[in-house]
Amino acid sequence: MEVKVYQNKMRVAEEFSKYFAAKSNEDHPFHVALSGGSTPKIVFDVLADEFSGKINWSNIHLYWGDERCVAPDDDESNYKMTVEHLISKIDIPEENIHRIRGEEDPQTEAKRYGSLLEEILPKELGLPQFDLVILGMGDDGHTASIFPHELKLWISPDNCEVATHPDSGQKRVSITGRIINNAKTVTFLVTGDTKADKVRIIVDREEGYLKYPASHVSPKTKDLVWFLDADAAEELTLDQS
Protein backbone atom coordinates (compact mmCIF):
# COMPACT_ATOMS: atom_id res chain seq x y z
CA MET A 1 0.00 0.00 0.00
CA GLU A 2 1.23 3.46 -0.95
CA VAL A 3 -0.27 6.59 0.60
CA LYS A 4 0.08 9.97 -1.10
CA VAL A 5 -1.09 13.10 0.74
CA TYR A 6 -1.62 16.52 -0.85
CA GLN A 7 -2.69 19.87 0.57
CA ASN A 8 -6.18 20.02 -0.88
CA LYS A 9 -8.69 18.39 -3.21
CA MET A 10 -7.43 20.27 -6.28
CA ARG A 11 -3.88 19.09 -5.72
CA VAL A 12 -5.18 15.53 -5.39
CA ALA A 13 -6.95 15.94 -8.73
CA GLU A 14 -3.90 17.39 -10.43
CA GLU A 15 -1.49 14.75 -9.14
CA PHE A 16 -3.86 11.89 -9.86
CA SER A 17 -4.38 13.18 -13.40
CA LYS A 18 -0.61 13.11 -13.96
CA TYR A 19 -0.55 9.58 -12.52
CA PHE A 20 -3.39 8.51 -14.81
CA ALA A 21 -1.70 9.97 -17.89
CA ALA A 22 1.55 8.17 -17.12
CA LYS A 23 -0.20 4.87 -16.39
CA SER A 24 -2.20 4.93 -19.60
CA ASN A 25 0.66 6.08 -21.84
CA GLU A 26 1.19 2.73 -23.54
CA ASP A 27 0.38 1.75 -27.09
CA HIS A 28 -2.32 -0.76 -26.22
CA PRO A 29 -5.85 -0.69 -24.79
CA PHE A 30 -6.12 0.62 -21.23
CA HIS A 31 -9.21 -0.52 -19.35
CA VAL A 32 -10.26 1.66 -16.41
CA ALA A 33 -13.21 1.49 -14.00
CA LEU A 34 -14.33 4.96 -12.94
CA SER A 35 -15.82 6.18 -9.69
CA GLY A 36 -18.50 8.75 -9.04
CA GLY A 37 -18.33 11.47 -6.40
CA SER A 38 -17.06 15.00 -5.93
CA THR A 39 -13.33 14.24 -6.15
CA PRO A 40 -13.51 12.26 -9.42
CA LYS A 41 -15.58 15.14 -10.83
CA ILE A 42 -12.62 17.49 -10.27
CA VAL A 43 -10.23 14.86 -11.65
CA PHE A 44 -12.32 14.64 -14.82
CA ASP A 45 -12.23 18.42 -15.16
CA VAL A 46 -8.44 18.43 -14.88
CA LEU A 47 -8.07 15.53 -17.33
CA ALA A 48 -10.31 17.31 -19.84
CA ASP A 49 -8.72 20.73 -19.43
CA GLU A 50 -5.05 19.76 -19.19
CA PHE A 51 -4.69 16.30 -20.71
CA SER A 52 -7.26 16.11 -23.53
CA GLY A 53 -4.47 16.37 -26.11
CA LYS A 54 -1.79 14.54 -24.11
CA ILE A 55 -3.53 11.18 -23.74
CA ASN A 56 -4.32 8.83 -26.61
CA TRP A 57 -7.98 8.48 -25.75
CA SER A 58 -8.53 5.99 -28.57
CA ASN A 59 -6.67 3.47 -26.38
CA ILE A 60 -8.73 4.23 -23.25
CA HIS A 61 -11.77 2.10 -22.46
CA LEU A 62 -14.08 3.54 -19.80
CA TYR A 63 -16.20 1.44 -17.45
CA TRP A 64 -17.92 2.22 -14.16
CA GLY A 65 -17.26 0.55 -10.82
CA ASP A 66 -20.82 1.26 -9.78
CA GLU A 67 -23.90 3.07 -10.97
CA ARG A 68 -27.14 4.23 -9.42
CA CYS A 69 -30.22 2.64 -10.94
CA VAL A 70 -31.42 5.80 -12.63
CA ALA A 71 -31.67 6.98 -16.24
CA PRO A 72 -28.43 8.15 -17.92
CA ASP A 73 -29.74 11.74 -18.01
CA ASP A 74 -30.62 11.76 -14.30
CA ASP A 75 -28.58 14.13 -12.14
CA GLU A 76 -27.66 11.20 -9.85
CA SER A 77 -26.13 9.19 -12.70
CA ASN A 78 -22.39 8.63 -12.49
CA TYR A 79 -22.39 8.25 -16.26
CA LYS A 80 -24.02 11.67 -16.76
CA MET A 81 -21.47 13.29 -14.47
CA THR A 82 -18.62 11.71 -16.44
CA VAL A 83 -20.12 12.83 -19.75
CA GLU A 84 -20.46 16.41 -18.55
CA HIS A 85 -17.01 16.69 -17.00
CA LEU A 86 -14.89 14.44 -19.23
CA ILE A 87 -16.38 12.48 -22.13
CA SER A 88 -17.96 15.49 -23.86
CA LYS A 89 -14.61 17.30 -23.79
CA ILE A 90 -12.26 14.62 -25.15
CA ASP A 91 -11.90 12.73 -28.40
CA ILE A 92 -12.77 9.19 -27.34
CA PRO A 93 -14.48 6.64 -29.60
CA GLU A 94 -18.06 5.90 -28.63
CA GLU A 95 -17.34 2.18 -28.72
CA ASN A 96 -14.77 2.66 -25.93
CA ILE A 97 -17.47 3.77 -23.48
CA HIS A 98 -19.03 0.87 -21.61
CA ARG A 99 -21.68 2.24 -19.28
CA ILE A 100 -23.82 0.45 -16.74
CA ARG A 101 -27.42 0.86 -17.89
CA GLY A 102 -28.95 2.23 -14.74
CA GLU A 103 -32.36 2.51 -16.37
CA GLU A 104 -32.67 -1.27 -16.83
CA ASP A 105 -33.87 -3.88 -14.34
CA PRO A 106 -31.06 -4.01 -11.72
CA GLN A 107 -30.64 -7.79 -11.56
CA THR A 108 -30.72 -8.16 -15.33
CA GLU A 109 -28.23 -5.33 -15.76
CA ALA A 110 -25.84 -6.74 -13.14
CA LYS A 111 -25.73 -9.99 -15.10
CA ARG A 112 -25.32 -8.21 -18.43
CA TYR A 113 -22.51 -5.98 -17.20
CA GLY A 114 -20.77 -8.92 -15.54
CA SER A 115 -20.90 -10.76 -18.87
CA LEU A 116 -19.61 -7.68 -20.70
CA LEU A 117 -16.56 -7.62 -18.44
CA GLU A 118 -15.96 -11.29 -19.23
CA GLU A 119 -16.19 -10.61 -22.96
CA ILE A 120 -14.11 -7.45 -23.27
CA LEU A 121 -11.49 -7.39 -20.51
CA PRO A 122 -8.31 -9.41 -20.74
CA LYS A 123 -8.08 -12.30 -18.29
CA GLU A 124 -5.68 -12.87 -15.41
CA LEU A 125 -6.02 -15.84 -13.06
CA GLY A 126 -9.17 -16.76 -14.98
CA LEU A 127 -10.92 -13.46 -14.13
CA PRO A 128 -11.48 -10.21 -16.03
CA GLN A 129 -8.69 -7.74 -15.29
CA PHE A 130 -8.88 -3.95 -15.33
CA ASP A 131 -5.65 -2.02 -15.81
CA LEU A 132 -6.92 0.48 -13.24
CA VAL A 133 -9.84 0.63 -10.82
CA ILE A 134 -10.54 4.06 -9.33
CA LEU A 135 -12.39 3.94 -6.03
CA GLY A 136 -13.83 6.45 -3.61
CA MET A 137 -14.76 5.84 0.01
CA GLY A 138 -17.85 7.03 1.85
CA ASP A 139 -18.00 8.37 5.39
CA ASP A 140 -19.25 4.91 6.41
CA GLY A 141 -16.27 3.11 4.86
CA HIS A 142 -18.15 1.84 1.81
CA THR A 143 -16.48 1.61 -1.58
CA ALA A 144 -17.94 1.16 -5.05
CA SER A 145 -21.53 0.53 -3.92
CA ILE A 146 -20.74 -2.14 -1.37
CA PHE A 147 -21.92 -0.88 2.01
CA PRO A 148 -21.10 -2.26 5.48
CA HIS A 149 -24.57 -3.80 5.88
CA GLU A 150 -24.05 -5.81 2.67
CA LEU A 151 -20.43 -6.80 3.13
CA LYS A 152 -21.32 -10.28 1.85
CA LEU A 153 -21.54 -8.79 -1.65
CA TRP A 154 -17.78 -8.23 -1.57
CA ILE A 155 -17.13 -11.99 -1.73
CA SER A 156 -19.86 -12.70 -4.27
CA PRO A 157 -18.93 -15.30 -6.93
CA ASP A 158 -20.38 -12.94 -9.54
CA ASN A 159 -18.62 -10.06 -11.26
CA CYS A 160 -21.42 -7.60 -10.45
CA GLU A 161 -24.11 -7.41 -7.81
CA VAL A 162 -27.14 -5.28 -7.01
CA ALA A 163 -26.56 -3.24 -3.87
CA THR A 164 -29.04 -1.26 -1.78
CA HIS A 165 -28.22 2.11 -0.22
CA PRO A 166 -28.77 1.76 3.55
CA ASP A 167 -30.67 5.03 3.94
CA SER A 168 -32.49 5.75 0.69
CA GLY A 169 -33.05 2.16 -0.37
CA GLN A 170 -31.86 3.09 -3.86
CA LYS A 171 -30.64 0.15 -5.94
CA ARG A 172 -27.18 0.27 -7.46
CA VAL A 173 -25.16 -2.03 -9.70
CA SER A 174 -21.60 -2.55 -8.45
CA ILE A 175 -18.57 -4.58 -9.38
CA THR A 176 -17.53 -6.99 -6.62
CA GLY A 177 -14.37 -7.74 -4.70
CA ARG A 178 -13.22 -10.46 -7.09
CA ILE A 179 -13.02 -7.89 -9.90
CA ILE A 180 -11.57 -5.05 -7.83
CA ASN A 181 -8.81 -7.16 -6.30
CA ASN A 182 -7.92 -8.73 -9.67
CA ALA A 183 -7.07 -5.34 -11.19
CA LYS A 184 -3.48 -4.48 -12.07
CA THR A 185 -3.73 -1.26 -10.04
CA VAL A 186 -6.32 0.06 -7.60
CA THR A 187 -6.43 3.67 -6.43
CA PHE A 188 -8.48 5.41 -3.77
CA LEU A 189 -9.39 9.09 -4.15
CA VAL A 190 -10.47 10.28 -0.71
CA THR A 191 -10.85 13.87 0.46
CA GLY A 192 -12.48 15.68 3.36
CA ASP A 193 -12.20 15.57 7.14
CA THR A 194 -15.42 13.56 7.54
CA LYS A 195 -13.51 10.54 6.26
CA ALA A 196 -10.38 10.99 8.38
CA ASP A 197 -11.32 8.48 11.08
CA LYS A 198 -12.15 5.72 8.57
CA VAL A 199 -8.92 6.44 6.66
CA ARG A 200 -6.95 6.03 9.90
CA ILE A 201 -8.75 2.84 10.94
CA ILE A 202 -8.39 1.22 7.50
CA VAL A 203 -4.87 2.34 6.61
CA ASP A 204 -3.51 1.59 10.09
CA ARG A 205 -5.51 -1.66 10.33
CA GLU A 206 -6.99 -0.78 13.67
CA GLU A 207 -9.27 -3.14 15.57
CA GLY A 208 -12.59 -3.61 13.79
CA TYR A 209 -11.33 -2.38 10.42
CA LEU A 210 -12.65 -5.41 8.55
CA LYS A 211 -16.26 -4.30 9.01
CA TYR A 212 -15.61 -1.57 6.43
CA PRO A 213 -15.75 -2.68 2.79
CA ALA A 214 -12.88 -0.36 1.83
CA SER A 215 -10.56 -2.35 4.11
CA HIS A 216 -11.02 -5.41 1.91
CA VAL A 217 -9.43 -3.74 -1.10
CA SER A 218 -6.20 -5.66 -1.53
CA PRO A 219 -5.20 -6.24 -5.15
CA LYS A 220 -3.32 -9.45 -5.87
CA THR A 221 -0.61 -7.39 -7.56
CA LYS A 222 -0.12 -5.40 -4.30
CA ASP A 223 -0.41 -2.21 -6.37
CA LEU A 224 -2.74 -0.14 -4.18
CA VAL A 225 -2.37 3.65 -3.95
CA TRP A 226 -4.32 6.06 -1.74
CA PHE A 227 -4.57 9.67 -2.94
CA LEU A 228 -5.61 11.79 0.06
CA ASP A 229 -5.96 15.45 0.83
CA ALA A 230 -4.68 16.86 4.13
CA ASP A 231 -8.14 16.77 5.69
CA ALA A 232 -8.72 13.08 4.95
CA ALA A 233 -5.21 12.26 6.19
CA GLU A 234 -5.28 14.47 9.28
CA GLU A 235 -5.31 11.50 11.68
CA LEU A 236 -2.39 9.79 9.95
CA THR A 237 1.25 10.56 10.73
CA LEU A 238 2.45 11.15 7.20
CA ASP A 239 4.31 13.88 5.33
CA GLN A 240 2.34 16.05 2.91
CA SER A 241 3.45 16.62 -0.67
CA–centroid distance for 121 within its chain = 16
| Helical spans, DSSP H, in 95-176 | 106-120
**Class of CATH domain 24-185:** alpha beta
Residue 239 has pLDDT above 70, yes or no: no
The domain ranges of the chain are 24-185
Instruction: Label residue 237 by pLDDT band (50, 70, 90).
Output: confident
> Of residues 94 and 27, which shows the higher confidence score?
94
Provide φ and ψ at 183, rounded to 5°. -70, 155
| H-run or E-run covering 174 | strand 171-175
User: How do residues 186-212 score in pLDDT, each as one tens digit?
Assistant: 999 999 999 999 999 999 999 999 999
Q: In what order do the strands lie in the sheet with 60-64?
A: 2-6, 224-229, 185-190, 132-135, 30-34, 60-64
> pLDDT digits over 34-48, tens only?
999 889 999 999 999
Per-residue pLDDT averaged across 62-84, rounded?
Answer: 98
Tell me: the pLDDT tens digits for 132-188?
999 999 999 999 999 999 999 999 999 999 999 999 999 999 999 999 999 999 999
Cβ count within 10 A of residue 213? 29
* Reported pTM: 0.96
pLDDT digits (tens, 9 = 90+) for 83-131: 999 999 999 999 999 999 999 999 999 999 999 999 999 999 999 999 9
Could you tell me which of 230, 237, 130 has the C-alpha nearest to residue 190? 230
Q: Give the C-alpha separation, 147 to 140, whole Å.
A: 8
Q: Partners of 185 in the beta sheet?
A: 132
Taking Cα atoms as reference points, which of 74, 119, 127 lies closest to residue 101?
74
The predicted structure's pLDDT at residue 238: 66
* Whether residue 27 has pLDDT greater than 90: no
Confidence of residue 26 (pLDDT cuts 50, 70, 90): confident
Strand pairing class (224-229; 185-190): parallel
45-60 pLDDT tens trace: 999 999 999 999 999 9
Gap between the Cα atoms of 176 and 173, Å rounded: 10
